């Protein structure tokens, strides 16, 4: 029985590396994988998925208006779907992935962030928390050693950003994973107040 999986973590938790290793494991067993990512994510090119540790693969870039159920129904012989940066998919697209699992008995593994730089859920992540069969956290740590849960956005001077749009593509130059306590303390220090 196929399932819809959501594997989430903060920035730097090796989500993409895990997605690409999972892809390799399926392909090593002779299975066909449909690797997808939101078209919004162009950091590594339009059709590439690349991890910080150097793993990479070609992927289909999915526009927000793409119906994933209809696109998958036209494919032949695909055994599994792996979605990277799934937080950027629409709620409707997550529902389409759910429908693939339910009606075609094909497993779907989604990898992505839970929350944005202000700790608010992304649309795709919210829907996955609502409808996924399996939810697993991929853990990473803050510089203090505690579990990191915040994707702190930083500016060019390393200061924490607390305003702006939900989506700003970036890597280590724009984000740092922090525990909630360190994040709040850093913001308070920037504002000249104690926490």
Total domain count, the chain: 1
Residue 179 lies in a domain: no
| SS3 annotation, 117-155 | CCCCECHHHHHHHHHCCEEEECCCECCCCCECCEEEEEC
Residue 102 lies in a domain: yes
Q: What is the pLDDT of residue 172?
A: 60
Residue 8 lies in a domain: yes
Residue 99 lies in a domain: yes
Residue 161 lies in a domain: no
Q: What is the pLDDT of residue 166?
A: 75
Give me the active site residues, please: 85
Q: What is the pLDDT of residue 44?
A: 73
Residue 33 lies in a domain: yes
Q: Give the range of the structural domain holding residue 116, as residue numbers without chain letter.
A: 4-138
Query: What percentage of the chain carries pLDDT values higher than 90?
Result: 69
Q: What is the pLDDT of residue 159?
A: 85
Q: 80-97 as b/e, with b when 16 or more CB fall inside 10 Å? A: bbbbbbbbbbbebbbebb
Instruction: Please name the residue ranges forming H helices in the chain.
Output: 15-28, 68-73, 91-104, 123-131, 180-190
CATH number for the domain including 83? 3.40.50.300
Residue 175 lies in a domain: no
pLDDT by 10s per residue, the chain, length 195: 899 999 999 988 999 999 999 999 999 999 999 999 999 876 777 778 778 777 878 899 999 999 999 999 999 899 999 999 999 999 999 999 999 999 999 999 999 999 999 999 999 999 999 999 999 999 999 999 999 999 888 888 888 888 877 766 655 677 899 999 999 998 998 877 654
Residue 153 lies in a domain: no
């Amino acid at each position: 029985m196929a399932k819809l999986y959501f594997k989430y973590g903060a920035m730097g938790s090796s989500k993409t590396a895990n997605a690409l290793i999972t892809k390799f494991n399926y392909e090593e067993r002779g299975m066909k994988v449909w690797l997808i990512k939101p078209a919004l994510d162009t950091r590594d090119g339009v059709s590439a998925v690349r991890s910080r540790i150097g793993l990479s693969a070609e992927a289909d870039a999915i526009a927000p208006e793409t119906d994933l159920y209809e696109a998958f129904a036209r494919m032949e012989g695909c055994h599994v779907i792996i979605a990277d940066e799934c937080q950027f998919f629409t709620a409707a697209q997550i529902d389409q992935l759910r429908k693939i699992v339910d009606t075609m008995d094909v497993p779907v593994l989604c990898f992505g962030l839970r929350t944005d730089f202000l700790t608010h859920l992304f649309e795709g992540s919210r829907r996955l928390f609502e409808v996924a069969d399996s939810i697993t956290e991929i853990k990473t740590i803050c510089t203090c050693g505690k579990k990191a849960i915040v994707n702190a956005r930083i500016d060019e001077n390393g200061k924490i950003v607390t305003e702006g749009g939900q989506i700003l593509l970036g890597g280590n130059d724009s984000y740092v994973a922090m525990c909630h306590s360190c994040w709040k303390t850093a913001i308070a220090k920037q504002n000249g107040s104690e926490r």
